[in-house]
Chains A and B, each alone.
Chain A
Amino acid sequence: GENVEQHPSTLSVQEGDSAVIKCTYSDSASNYFPWYKQELGKGPQLIIDIRSNVGEKKDQRIAVTLNKTAKHFSLHITETQPEDSAVYFCAANRDSGYALNFGKGTSLLVTP
């Protein structure tokens, strides 16, 4: 099946620093790329997404970039805070439809 690769699997940063999580996808038909944040005991929460006709999108401290040619997309979190600590998943839609293929997740720890 089509895969979404996500790196790193774990990331530890100091409060105030930036965090970057990178993903690659293989399905050429993918045109929608969401990012989810999952806290312990909760379901994934959509935090930002990007469509293939856009190269970058920003929402306050988080931003996502997409390189469709290289099939790369990244999540950038600036001025990290302890409450940003969670598992982050990237995803890409399959066959331009609703079903999502997820990356394996990045466990982000922001230390005070």
Chain B
Amino acid sequence: SAVISQKPSRDICQRGTSLTIQCQVDSQVTMMFWYRQQPGQSLTLIATANQGSEATYESGFVIDKFPISRPNLTFSTLTVSNMSPEDSSIYLCSVPAYGANEKLFFGSGTQLSVL
């Protein structure tokens, strides 16, 4: 399995500000996924980050609110922009296993609270 490091692990932010979450993987991966887990809820895919092209966003998520960077095959960032309390969630980075793309592994997540 891949080793996935997410930073920060948690943060408390004021509404109207932005937070950038980093995801570092110990191996090169073609695709990286960003998920959101609202309090007590399931996981929802925000977008797929592809190296060398723009991220692909799911319905209900837009680039202006959740800009994503993917500068290389081991790193990605997700920014939560102009935050409101409704953005309080766990944000998770996920990557497919090497040689078994269907198997997804998750980082430990970023617990975001917006006041």
Contact = CB atoms under 8 A, between A and B. Distances in A.
Contacts of B105: 46
Interface of B is mostly: strand
A45 B58 CA distance: 23
Interface in B27-63: 31, 33, 41-45, 48, 58-59
Contact of B106 (A1, A41, A43): A43
Interface residues of A, number: 21
Contact of A98 (B41, B102, B106, B109): B102
A99 B45 CA distance: 7
Contacts, number: 52
Contact of A99 (B4, B33, B109, B111): B33
Contacts of A45: 106
Interface stretch (A63-71, A73-81, A102-110): A102-110
B103 interface: yes
Given A99-B33, A100-B45, A105-B42, A43 B108 contact: yes
Contacts of B59: 1
Interface in A36-55: 36, 41-46, 49, 51
Contacts of A25: none
Among all A-B residue pairs, the 10 with the closest Cβ atoms: A43-B106, A102-B42, A102-B43, A32-B102, A43-B108, A104-B42, A44-B106, A43-B109, A43-B107, A99-B45
Interface of B: 1, 4, 31, 33, 41-45, 48, 58-59, 92, 96, 101-109, 111
